């Protein structure tokens, strides 16, 4: 029983404290950035250079590999903004307001 209670604090509620979350985010930010840049470069090379063009549209077809993921990302970010704004309004959690505020320019860029 003691281990179950001890493990309960390590879930998502552990990172609900802004100080703990920022400490954790500062530690993993460089590694996540490296992985994200590598994935973006690989996806762009594969989508724009390796994949053959469509038999009718030719190379103009390749815009789908950039446009569709960008629009999905914009929609996902707007949903995150709505959920975090609701959580900030209902439970008055300061981290939810921070996430909603910082996600708005990113969603606008993907639109």
Hey, what are 30's tokens?
């460089």
Q: Is the predicted pLDDT of residue 4 greater than 80, yes or no? A: no
First and final C-alpha spacing in the chain = 49
- As a residue count, the chain comes to 111
pLDDT at 34: 98
Q: How many domains, in total, are found in the chain?
A: 1
Please state the rounded mean pLDDT for residues 65-83.
95
Q: Which residues pair with 54 in a beta bridge?
A: 58
Average pLDDT for the chain: 88
Task: Identify which has the larger pLDDT, 21 or 108.
Answer: 108
Task: Identify which has the larger pLDDT, 58 or 42.
Answer: 42
In sequence order, which residues have a C-beta less than 8 Å from that of residue 24 and are 6 or more positions away? 15
Percent of the chain with pLDDT over 90: 55
Give exposure, 17-40, as e/b (b: 16+ Cβ within 10 Å).
eeeeeeeeeeeeeeeeeeeeeeee
Q: Which domain holds residue 72?
A: 2-110
Rounded CA-CA distance 24/90 in Å is: 25
Contact 21, 15 (CB under 8 A): yes
pLDDT tens, residue by residue, 22-39? 899 999 999 999 999 999
């Amino acid at each position: 029983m003691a281990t179950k209670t001890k493990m309960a604090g390590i879930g998502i509620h552990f990172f609900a404290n802004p100080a703990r979350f920022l400490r954790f985010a500062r530690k993993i930010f460089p590694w996540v950035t490296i992985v994200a840049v590598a994935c973006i470069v690989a996806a762009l090379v594969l989508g724009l250079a390796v994949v053959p063009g469509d038999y009718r549209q030719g190379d103009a077809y390749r815009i789908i590999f950039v446009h569709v993921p960008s629009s999905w990302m914009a929609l996902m970010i707007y949903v995150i903004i709505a959920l975090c704004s609701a959580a900030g309004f209902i439970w008055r959690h300061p981290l939810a307001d921070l996430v909603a505020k910082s996600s708005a320019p990113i969603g606008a860029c993907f639109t």
